Chain A
Amino acid sequence: MTPHMLTRSLDRSAAIFLAVVAGCGILIPLSNLLLPAGSFLQVPTYLVALWGKYVCYAILALSIDLIWGYCGILSLGHGAFFALGGYAMGMYLMRQIGTRGVYGNPILPDFMVFLNWEKLPWYWYGFDMFWFAALMVLVVPGLLAFCFGWLAFRSRVTGVYLSIITQAMTYALLLAFFRNDFGFGGNNGLTDFKDILGFNVQAEGTRAALFALSCLALIIGFLICRAIVSSKLGKVLIAVRDAESRTRFLGYRVESYKLFVFTVSACMAGVAGALYVPQVGIINPSEFAPGNSIEAVIWVAVGGRGTLVGAALGAVVVNYAKTFFTSGVLAPYWLFMLGALFILVTLLLPKGIVGTFNAWWDQSKEKRTSATSVSAAAEDGVTEPKMAE
């Protein structure tokens, strides 16, 4: 049976994926910390931070794949949830600076002293406690996604309309966070962090631990996504993706399913942002730029939407390419390449790297096992999920 084979092949790629991520998450920090600097096998600290950034992007891509690949919701504003999670973490890190800031104010972050603010705005309360900040990393993006999704899905805003208003959402947030009186550092954002949970954010050990934690978060996120898409709920999501009206006519409350998965996805994006900030050392409003969100979508498209593994792979591959090309003489050509990537992937590789590979693998395997079974092929056309909007 093909469905069975499909699950098995997914299981195989999932297993490989988990093994690779877990291996990196353990070996890279160990090699960075234990081997002497300059040794052949030692991973330098800057690379640990760089790869940590990629892993965070991979979590973001995973969250986009969950809604786009499995539910057909193309969000062009997922960068907003990522950034909100990042800001929640950034606020905690700002409060940890304490008297070590330029102005030495024990309560107010530097930019507030600079703006002559008398006391902490109410929405900064509680961010000196890690548990509260960690909670907010999930709650703030989740709440925004819930409200936004509740409004949008209930009135059946779908397809490109949804994409456009998610873009408007992140654009509105971009404008808001650029304002100084909004209380989040305006243009400069939050930076100059010192400690996280008492450990120096610049220290090698902290960076290695953050990297390992990011890998752990990626694994957990992946498992959650897998659990969702392989459950009965996941089947309904795929039905919504492929034929929304039909699913509704069959009696499913489409908007509730969409709302659930959209909120979960936003929380994941928030976690990605929260892990991203201490590793990069800054969060500013440019993270809200609509371009960032669209770029994240293309990672998923490159890796293969609706494959989960592909999303993470796409994020790493595209960002590695970006680092590689923007740091050399080829820098002026990077935007050409990124643009071409958008066009070529949508035109020539609609299933992405992993999707194309899976299709090829299944096909060749089918040929190998039973060249005679015509029925399997016929059934194949029915059961294989269609890549529709």
Chain B
Amino acid sequence: MPAHLSARLCSLALSLFLIAFALPAFAGPFEDAVAKFANDDFSDTEEAIGVIAGSGSKLAFPIINALQNGRLMADPDSKKVYVTDADGKSIDAATGEAVASVPDSATAVRLNNRLRRSVDAALGSLTLQSPDVGTRLQAAQSVFKSHEETALEAVDAALAKEANKSVKAALGEARAAILLFKSDATEVEKLEAVATLKARGDQDALALLTGMGDQPASVTKAAASAIGSIQNSLAVWSMVQNAWYGLSLGSVLLLAAIGLAITFGVMGVINMAHGEMVMIGAYTTFVVQEVIRTRYPGLFDYSLLIAVPLAFLVAGAIGVLIERSIIRFLYGRPLETLLATWGLSLVLQQAVRTMFGPTNREVGNPSWMSGAFELGQITITYNRLWILLFTLAVFAILLAMLRYTALGLEMRAVTQNRRMAASMGIATSRVDALTFGLGSGIAGIAGVALSQIDNVSPNLGQSYIIDSFMVVVFGGVGNLWGTLVGAFTLGIANKFLEPVAGAVLGKIAILVLIILFIQKRPRGLFALKGRAVEA
């Protein structure tokens, strides 16, 4: 029974509070004041509001809040007063204990306009001095938004007491907002207010400064310069925001395209079933999470760490199987490979649809991947940040693998000159199978990451395949750095075009730009240099 519990906690906190501040009476003025609500007399009610607001009781806020919302019920017969909430639960206003039901004779305590004002003021000062930091911060922000002159006193009082730095800053801003609109504030005060708002520098501050009405000349001038500087900084922040979105999209593109860059770059194989490898990785994550949910719920936060190697193995094994059973018969016939792998993608999609159903499956975020934090004026979500870092890590590992391992050496040799590599004793067909497995495995890993931000459905891969090809073609085949640059360029370009042209038009523009770009550089940004002439 949460209401009951919270009521208990409230009363406990209340007693502690009262003891700590060693207030003279435990069962005196507060209870008396509460009982006055039952008199149904406006002056009694006003008196009660004043006493309760100044009592420092934990119940003061709920009572005044209920009064404002017409949820404070008073029983004239028993002189008992109840605080009810929207769910129909109620507590005794004097003791804070939960009550099963409010008597039928109880009616809502009435208010008139004068009382409403004092209720508002009491509420403002109550929340501004609430023991909870979050409530204080919220109250300060709401005062900032409303910038009512009546709240000035409460703000000043709160400001004198406040120890928390961020609440203090918020209160200062609230004070500035009030002063700016206060007709009898001095010029110095107003100039200070403008400076404070300028320091705040966000959209709300901008709105206040632009809508402040008639002011002394010096203030208007200061405000104009503040508006200019805020607008500049906002523009910079929106650029930063776009750049961040672009980096995030770029990392997703890179993750999806990196495996393709390997198979396409090293083997010249167009793998249209690449997107399905991504999908298989995502479904591996789903299965891992299902097993964890039913068997070992405590391990949920580690589900992705378990899924990454598994997805690599599953997708990689399927990749090797595909290479051995289909693709190796089609070397030297890239267009046929394209068709066969397209057919394969249909089969894989339908197989997954048959096994897991056509609808989206639920893949959860572990706790360390959910939530967000503020950086200046932009919000950064943890899952996007992790995916960016993860992508860069995968990229670095892959580069290191190509650079320092025997398989990497053989792969590079086969890329540069297949026949020469074969003559030097490299088993090219083994390298092909492993390369294809590696590319598919990385697609599987990409699926684990994408399961965190996208719907896990049989069509997951299809939505990435064209974008991935664009990245590889744009960046240049056979060069991982080209893929990196290509992915981030396309991601950032896309996000900078979006606000100008809209999401769909931006995407169309990008496609058209790539088509035009290919005309200029038919082999991509970073083409492999060579003297070969095809056909």
> Which residues of A come within 8 Å of B, CB atoms?
74, 148, 151-152, 154-161, 163-165, 167-169, 171-172, 175-176, 178-179, 242-246, 290, 294, 297-298, 301, 332-333, 335-336, 338-343, 345-347, 350, 388-389
Contact = CB atoms under 8 A, between A and B. Distances in A.
Contacts of B354: 332
Interface residues of B, number: 44
Contacts of B336: 346, 350
Given A172-B508, A176-B508, A339-B346, A389 B333 contact: yes
Nearest to A350: B336
Given A161-B473, A339-B346, A346-B340, A175 B335 contact: no
Interface in B313-362: 326, 329-330, 333-340, 342-351, 353-354
B372 interface: no
A155 B340 contact: no
B346 A165 contact: no
A43 to B, nearest CB: 32
Given A168-B511, A175-B507, A335-B347, A159 B534 contact: yes
Contacts of A161: 473, 518, 522
B470 interface: yes
Contact of B519 (A157, A172, A176): A157
B469 interface: yes
B332 to A, nearest CB: 8
A155 B522 contact: yes
**Which of B339, B466, B473, B519 has the most chain A CB atoms inside 10 A of its CB?**
B339
Contacts of A168: 466, 469-470, 511, 514-515
B347 A243 contact: no
Contact of B335 (A74, A179, A246): A74
Interface in B453-473: 466, 469-470, 473
B333 A163 contact: no
A158 B519 CA distance: 11
B29 to A, nearest CB: 65
B339 A389 contact: no
Contacts of A339: 343-348, 350
Contacts, number: 133
Interface string B497-535: 000000011011001101110111010000000000111
B326 A343 contact: yes
A161 B472 CA distance: 10
A124 to B, nearest CB: 20
B194 interface: no
- 5 A-B pairs with the lowest CB-CB distances in the bound complex, closest first: A342-B343, A339-B346, A339-B347, A335-B350, A172-B511
B113 to A, nearest CB: 45
A246 B508 CA distance: 37
B516 A151 contact: yes
B66 interface: no
A108 B148 CA distance: 53
Given A165-B518, A335-B347, A338-B346, A160 B335 contact: yes
Contact of B512 (A172, A335, A347): A172
A163 B338 contact: yes
Contact of A245 (B339, B351, B514, B535): B535
Contact of A341 (B343, B348, B466, B473): B343
A178 B504 contact: yes
Contact of B350 (A164, A169, A336, A347): A336
B448 to A, nearest CB: 25
B334 A160 contact: yes
Nearest to A387: B333
B53 to A, nearest CB: 54
Contacts of A157: 518-519, 522
